[in-house]
Amino acid sequence: QEPQASGLPEYIKIVEVGPRDGLQNEKVVVPTGTKIELINRLSKTGLPAIEVTSFVSSKWVPQMADHKEVMRGIERHPGVQYPVLTPNLQGFHSAIAAGATEVSVFGAASESFSKMNINCSIEESLEKFGEVTKSARNINIPVRGYVSCALGCPYEGNVVPDKVAEVSKRLYSMGCYEISLGDTIGVGTPGSMKKMLEAVMKEIPLSALAVHCHDTYGQALANILTAIQMGVAVVDSSVAGLGGCPYAKGATGNVATEDVVYMLNGLGINTGVNLYAVMEAGNFICTALNKKTNSKVAQASFSTGTIN
Amino acid sequence: ASGGYPKRVKVVEVGPRDGLQNEKNVVPTPVKINLINMLSETGLQVIEATSFVSPKWVPQMADHTEVMQGINKLPGISYPVLTPNLKGFQAAVAAGAKEVSIFGAASELFTKKNINCSIEESLERFDEVMKAAREASIPVRGYVSCVLGCPYEGKISAAKVAEVSKKLYSMGCYEISLGDTIGVGTPGSMKEMLTVVMKEVPVGALAVHCHDTYGQALANILVALQMGVSVVDASVAGLGGCPYAQGASGNVATEDLVYMLNGLGIHTGVDLQKLMDTGTFICSALNRRTNSKVSQASCRL
């Protein structure tokens, strides 16, 4: 797509990760009916992609134990993608059986993180994902690849941009159509975001890149702005900023979709998303979770009773 | 464009004034003094200490003279105070102030509701302050409120912001701090506003004062930096809610700003750990949680 006069993309695809990444990192286990209701509401906001659930063993992630029921229970709106996480071939088969038409796999740019998270090396994890992408290719299922710890690791600290580029390239060459670069612990800043993207952009076409920024240090929107100034046109976010950071107790995690849309609206960038509808969905899930929203736009708007 | 950034940024700490003024709990004088003293140890070069306004209007700032006289004034650090009129200016100077600030707004309705006169009249009132300041060789900083939106008027024209900024600058203010008073600005409106203002006021004399009410502050500041602005206002622990949106946040947190500037390799001279410790102190004294995400994340309790 052509850049605007401002140099920014004209359209940005927002990938809503609230129902999966968000809820997975919330303490309160949410009933299946509530999850389905949330996703159905999000489907009406104009969001083009909503990450629904994770086909991971319920032993590891109790919050996602109802993955089949959720997948089968949601309304599927035309033009909306409903990707699900599939950590391995078994999860992949289960996902397809439950009606999934897009899947995601998660790599990491840090060996320690990979070991602590999924008990294997980066290389071993990529081999597993290779099996998934191979099967997916056979039945025309698109696969999205995530790279965690793109701007820092809770165990290793600093992460080298070239490592991020290397893992991204592996995922891309095995068939992932899009690589979402995750600032897993939110330590990134516009400085490190720029350096990392420069390295990755040498290996992956810009149109195949997404950023998944966490707001743990309040840097998410500044980091997203930096990424879109460099031409990235896909941004992950979570309604109401659902999902705290498992590595910093009490700290926030995902950036709030409402706050991202507010910024993109102000930049004249088209997203197709109705901000008010997202705020309402956010209000619904926060009420269900009995928690305050992490979205500043939602906080401010509900206080004043006006949408600016 | 996302080309260069300034090598150095001056951080203007407004917590003790703008921050505390917008906190519900009235803070005892010794706590205010300790706050400012702790801030003086962090490397911050400018700390807005208090406001010489009538205690009838702003009870939180009633102890302005005691605070001004009680703080350690470290060499190399400036302790500006607000002076809404000549009387306040005189009281400030008598109490030892060496720098003052005056406030204008880019919105007629806001000015009317806030100080019951027009923008033009408000600036005329400052003529006498400017004259007295000039005679006493006291530098004056000018603030412009509502630069990216007004709680009453809504959208604000960049031309109006430029007009008021230019007026304050020609009156003799050495620096103009452009305030997104209700935090509605985005990088889009920030860029548009600055483009117009920079035609009237040199960028070296501009500062941004962003509120984080809609979570946009750091992104807005980033754009301002990209356009050459190198002075940024912030409030330790993000003190100071928004008086126009109950429960919503206001000032951007100094810790979060410094974290970003550090990441960009921009020099501020500020010690982030000492700053966080100061934030912890004042939040404890106010019995409230910090608004700084950096502080929240770093807390391993």
Helix H or strand E segment including A117 = helix A111-118
Q: Do A308 and B149 touch (CB under 8 A)?
A: yes
Render pLDDT for B171-207 as a digit per residue (tens, 0 to 9). 999 999 999 999 999 999 999 999 999 999 999 999 9
Provide the pLDDT for residue A306: 58
- pLDDT above 70: residue A26: yes
CA distance B69 to chain A (A): 36
Asked if residue B241 has pLDDT above 90, the reply is no
Greatest pairwise CA separation for chain A in angstroms: 53
- Its domain, for residue A70, covers 13-303
> Exposed/middle/buried for B3, CB within 10 Å: 0-12, 13-18, 19+?
exposed
Question: B263–A251: do the CB atoms touch at under 8 Å?
Answer: no
Rounded (to 5) percent helix, strand, coil in chain A? 45, 15, 40
What pLDDT sits at residue B301? Answer: 37
Element holding A276 (H helix, E strand) = helix A275-289
Nearest to B265 among A191, A215, A218 (CB): A191
Phi–psi pair at B67, nearest 5 degrees: -65, -50
pTM flag (> 0.80)? yes
Least confident of A125-139, A162-176, A244-258, B277-291: A244-258
pLDDT at A247: 76
CA separation (Å) from B42 to B68, B200, B260? 19, 34, 17
The Cα A267–Cα A282 span in angstroms is: 23
Q: Please check whether residue B74 touches A, CB under 8 A.
A: no
CB-nearest partner of B297 from A192, A221, A248: A248
CB atoms within 10 A of CB B200: 17
Q: What is the mean pLDDT of residues B241-261?
A: 88
Residues of A in contact with B298 (CB under 8 A): 248
Alpha helices, H only, chain B: 20-21, 29-40, 64-70, 86-94, 108-115, 119-135, 158-171, 187-197, 217-226, 254-263, 272-286, 293-298
* Better pLDDT: A61 or A182: A182
A94 within 8 A of A55, measured Cβ to Cβ: yes
Domain annotation covers residue A1 = no
Confirm whether A37 is domain-assigned: yes
User: Which segments of B143-271 does DSSP mark as H helices, in order?
Assistant: 158-171, 187-197, 217-226, 254-263
Residue type, B48: E
pLDDT class of A2 with cuts at 50, 70, 90: very low
Query: End-to-end CA distance of chain A, in Å?
Result: 29
B242 carries an active-site annotation: yes
The arithmetic mean of pLDDT across residues B48-53, rounded, is 96
Domain B10-296: give its CATH architecture.
Alpha-Beta Barrel (3.20)
B168 has pLDDT over 90: yes
A111 inside domain: yes
Q: Which long-range contacts (CB under 8 A, 24 or more apart) does B295-300 make?
A: B295/B237, B295/B253, B295/B255, B296/A248, B296/A250, B296/A251, B296/A252, B297/A186, B297/A216, B297/A217, B297/A245, B297/A248, B297/A251, B297/A252, B298/A248, B299/A249, B299/A250, B299/A251, B300/A248, B300/A249
- Facing residue for B260 by CB, picked from A190, A300, A303: A190
Q: Which of B148, B181, B186 to mutate to test the interface with A (most CBs of A within 10 A)?
A: B186
Q: Say yes or no for a CB contact (<8 Å) between B214 and A230.
A: no
pLDDT tens sequence across B61-82: 999 999 999 999 999 999 999 9
How far is A229 from A211, CA to CA, in rounded Å? 12
Q: How far apart are CA B185 and CA B252, in angstroms?
A: 13
User: What angle, rounded to 10 degrees, do the helices at B29-40 and B272-286 form?
Assistant: 170
Which helix (H) or strand (E) covers residue A279, if one does?
A: helix A275-289
Segment A43-68 shows an average pLDDT of 94
Q: Return the pLDDT at B103.
A: 92
What pLDDT score was predicted for residue A235? Answer: 98
Using a CB-CB cut-off of 8 Å, the residues of chain A touching B247 are: 299, 303
Residue of B300 and A241 predicted with greater confidence: A241
Model confidence at B2, pLDDT cuts 50, 70, 90, reads very low
H-helix or E-strand spanning residue A190: helix A190-200
Residue of B nearest to A248 (CA): B297
What CATH number has the domain bearing residue A90?
A: 3.20.20.70
B92 Cβ under 8 Å from any chain A Cβ: no
Contacts of A71 (CB under 8 A, 6+ apart): A52, A53, A82, A84, A95, A98, A99, A100
The whole-angstrom separation of Cα B41 and Cα B173 is 27
What is the band of B1 on the pLDDT scale with cuts at 50, 70, 90?
A: very low
Residue to substitute from A193, A247, A299, A301, interface B, most B β-carbons within 10 A: A299
Q: What is the mean pLDDT of chain B?
A: 95
Tokens of B163: 């007009």
Neighbours of B137 (CB within 10 A): 7
Q: Are B172 and B140 in contact (CB under 8 A)?
A: yes
Q: Is residue A258 part of a domain?
A: yes
Per-residue pLDDT averaged across B143-150, rounded? 96
The pLDDT assigned to A307 comes to 57
Work out how many domains chain A is built from and give that number: 1
Domain boundaries, chain B: 10-296
Residue A22 in this model has a pLDDT that exceeds 60? yes
| pLDDT in the model for residue B242 | 79
Closest CA to B214 of A254, A295, A220: A295
Cα–chain center distance at B100: 12
A226 domain-assigned: yes
Which residue is it, tokens 């500006």? B80
3-class DSSP string for B226-249: HCCCCEEEEEHHHCCCCCCCCCCC
pLDDT at A308: 56
- Among A4, A158, A201, A217, which would you mutate to test the B interface (most chain B Cβ atoms within 10 Å of its Cβ)? A217
Q: Is the pLDDT of residue A130 over 60?
A: yes
Looking at chain A, the whole-number percentage of residues with pLDDT higher than 70 is: 96
* pLDDT per residue as tens digits for the range B79-132: 999 999 999 999 999 999 999 999 999 999 999 998 889 999 999 989 999 999
Return d(Cα A54, Cα A51) in angstroms, integer.
9
Structure confidence at residue B300 as a pLDDT band (50, 70, 90): very low
- Write down the pLDDT at residue B154: 94
Closest CA to A225 of B158, B28, B22, B215: B215
DSSP conformation class of B8: B
pLDDT confidence bin for B44, thresholds 50/70/90 = very high
| Of the candidate ranges A168-177, B119-128, B215-224, the one whose mean pLDDT is the lowest | B119-128
